[in-house]
């Protein structure tokens, strides 16, 4: 039997029972569509998390002041005042370090005209923009001259600019930070929420020395952001950074570190792996409906073999071989699963795009997920259609002709 003839016979047999064939394929349609949609949701979430981590500097190290023990009580991270600006300069010379940015942090009420807003203030150096992978929306950033002179200048986050100035450009205007008049140099590009749900745009950036001397009255720093050449370099530099800081702080062997080092590359890798597992979990759950659809195909094909037993006997009597009968029924199963796969792909892609439009989900439909869902649907048709097809091919012609 030629393939074209076998395919025509399979389509004709299914067309005689259109409603039954459509209901049988429904399980495959739902399975393929749900796999594509669920994987799109998971992949979109994975991409969104990766983008957030990248915006924070996914291959960077963060050094924070450590804790101190007084009278048996540990005061917590950030309570030691041993980190200084010169520590950052020493770390900048290490191989694999692209840039460093020492910083201090505080929270203040800021005012402009009749508007006021409580926000976080961060004192930084010019390399902060590179270390944090941030860009400017308008204006200019801090320069080394501003840091050396402790100038009264600042760069606003988008949230602060909106709350104080509305739709008006704040560049060139002067705001009050704890009674200190600061000229606005520029506005940072919006970044949105961080991976922990905090608004990254709700902040003001000022020269490190200005915040140290005129807002906080301190000479030490709270932390150091270190940009590296990549994740491998970040992991390698952890021990080197610790060695340099211990040496500079004159810590003896066995003495506890007075600082903490956080590797964002490790956080990014762990978070990405969790998102990847979540994506596969969603796809696996959705693929269960494909298996249910396959069972439906096998059930209907067994019924079809029983109904067409006499037809099978006549075909064998006229010279049809066992493999011709097998391929005829197997092709019917493949047509059912293939047609269901095509319709499921269309519904899955369309449903995923619609879900992205009407909800807050980040949707990313990938070609591999579409191809995998369709291929799985075809394999389901082959696997669950093989038993009915073999049963039909093994029928004895005489017994088949006598069947009523």
Q: What is the pLDDT of residue 74?
A: 47
The partner residues of 86 in beta bridges, in order of sequence, read none
Question: Residue 311 class from Cβ within 10 Å (0-12 exposed, 13-18 middle, 19+ buried)?
Answer: middle
How many other C-beta atoms lie within 10 A of the C-beta of residue 391? 17
Q: CB count, 10 Å around CB of 259?
A: 22
CB 330 within 8 A of CB 382: yes
- Rounded-to-integer distance, Cα 153 and Cα 183, Å: 5
pTM of this prediction? 0.59
DSSP-H helix ranges across 136-263: 144-149, 158-165, 208-210, 231-248
Helix (H), strand (E) counts: the chain: 13, 12
- pLDDT at position 50 is 64
Instruction: Name the token pair of 135.
Output: 């860009």
The 10s digit of each residue's pLDDT in 178-236 is: 889 999 999 999 987 665 567 889 999 999 999 999 999 998 999 998 888 876 777 78
Strands (E), 140-269: 153-156, 174-177, 180-188, 203-207, 223-228, 259-263
Question: What pLDDT score does 205 carry?
Answer: 95
Q: How far apart are CA 61 and CA 52, in angstroms?
A: 16
Q: Give mean pLDDT in consecutive 10-residue pieces for the chain, a chain of 404 residues.
A: 60 70 78 80 71 62 70 49 87 87 92 90 92 89 93 94 91 91 94 72 94 91 86 78 88 83 67 66 70 75 69 68 72 79 85 75 77 81 76 66 55
**What backbone torsions phi and psi does residue 365 show, to the nearest 5 degrees?**
-90, 120
User: How distant, in Å, are the alpha carbons of 71, 77, 276 from that of 255?
Assistant: 17, 16, 40
Backbone angles phi, psi at 168, to 5 degrees: -80, 140
Which phi and psi (to 5°) does residue 200 adopt? -70, -20
CA atoms within 13 A on the CB side of 127: 17
Beta strands in 20-78 (DSSP E): 60-65, 69-70, 73-74
């Amino acid at each position: 039997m030629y393939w074209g003839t076998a395919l025509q016979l399979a389509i004709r047999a299914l067309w005689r029972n259109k409603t039954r064939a459509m209901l049988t394929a429904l399980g495959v349609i739902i399975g393929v569509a749900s796999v594509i949609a669920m994987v799109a949701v998971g992949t979109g979430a994975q991409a969104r998390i990766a983008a957030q981590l990248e915006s924070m500097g996914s291959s960077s190290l963060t050094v924070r002041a450590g804790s101190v023990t007084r009278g048996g009580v540990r005061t917590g991270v950030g309570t030691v005042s041993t980190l200084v600006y010169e520590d950052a300069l020493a770390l900048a010379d290490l191989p694999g370090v692209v840039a460093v940015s020492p910083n201090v942090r505080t929270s203040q009420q800021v005012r402009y005209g009749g508007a006021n807003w409580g926000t976080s203030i961060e004192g930084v150096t010019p390399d902060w923009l590179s270390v944090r992978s941030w860009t400017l929306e308008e204006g200019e950033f801090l320069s080394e001259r501003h840091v050396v002179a402790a100038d009264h200048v600042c760069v606003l986050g988008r949230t602060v600019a909106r709350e104080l100035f509305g739709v008006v450009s704040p560049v060139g205007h002067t705001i009050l930070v704890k009674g200190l008049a600061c000229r606005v140099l520029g506005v940072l590009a919006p970044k949105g929420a961080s991976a922990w749900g905090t608004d990254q745009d709700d902040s003001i950036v000022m020269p490190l020395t200005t915040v140290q001397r005129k807002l906080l009255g301190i000479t030490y720093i709270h932390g150091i952001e270190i940009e590296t050449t990549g994740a491998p370099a970040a992991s390698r530099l952890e021990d080197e950074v610790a060695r340099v800081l211990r040496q500079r702080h004159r810590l003896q062997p066995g003495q506890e570190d007075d600082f903490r080092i956080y590797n964002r590359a490790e956080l990014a890798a762990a978070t990405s792996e969790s998102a990847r597992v979540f994506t596969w979990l969603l796809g696996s759950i959705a693929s269960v409906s494909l298996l249910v659809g396959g069972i439906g195909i096998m059930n209907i094909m067994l019924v079809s073999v029983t109904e067409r037993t006499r037809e099978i006997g006549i075909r064998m009597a006229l010279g049809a071989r066992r493999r011709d009968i097998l391929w005829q029924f197997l092709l019917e199963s493949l047509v059912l699963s293939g047609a269901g796969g095509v319709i499921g792909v269309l519904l899955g892609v369309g449903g995923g795009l619609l879900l992205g439009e009407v909800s807050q989900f980040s949707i990313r439909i990938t070609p591999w997920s579409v191809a995998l869902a369709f291929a799985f649907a075809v394999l389901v048709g082959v696997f669950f259609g093989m038993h009915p097809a073999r049963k039909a091919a093994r029928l004895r012609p005489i017994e088949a002709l006598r069947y009523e």
